[in-house]
Amino acid sequence: MTPDASAHIDVAASPQRVFELVSDLRGLSRCAEEYSGGKWLNAAGPRVGARFRGFNKRGWRKWPTTSTVTDCSATRFAFEVKSLGLAVSRWQYDIEETGEGCRVTESTWDRRPGWYVPITRLATGVKDRAVTNQRNIEATLQRLKQAAESA
């Protein structure tokens, strides 16, 4: 299935360094546009099946989510996101080694049921989630590149 938003960037850092940033709740919060932090719920760190409470903000709006890690390898970190027990999205970071470091692709899929979309628009202030996520991914990848290359 095609993602609703996706972009990639080349990073002059090791795939391991990038994986460490995207799979670390604090590291990811320093790069992400809306995600502002989180805490592991049933694990000490990333692994398939691990759950975390995520905290998100956009302007004055704040909302929590609960995510479950679905992929956790050197080449992919992904998680399914729920809000109020409902599936809302999937986020995925694919890391491909290149001669100069790696290429990182961030993708997301909107999983919200149609009736839930107006509620999330009010909660987040986002009218067009696909357009906003595309912009957010592009900004996140730029920050991720800076963080990975500055280490």
* pLDDT tens for each residue of 63-84: 999 999 999 999 999 999 999 8
Give the pLDDT band of residue 1 (cuts 50, 70, 90).
confident
pLDDT of residue 8: 98
pLDDT at 124 over 90: yes
Q: Are 72 and 48 in contact (CB under 8 A)?
A: yes
pLDDT at 19 over 90: yes
- List C-alpha distances in Å: 3 to 108, 124, 127: 5, 20, 18
Q: Please identify, in words, the CATH class of the domain defined by 5-150.
A: alpha beta
Cβ of 1: how many Cβ atoms within 10 Å? 5
Q: Are 92 and 78 in contact (CB under 8 A)?
A: yes
The mean of the pLDDT values for the chain is 96
pTM: 0.96
Cβ of 73: how many Cβ atoms within 10 Å? 11
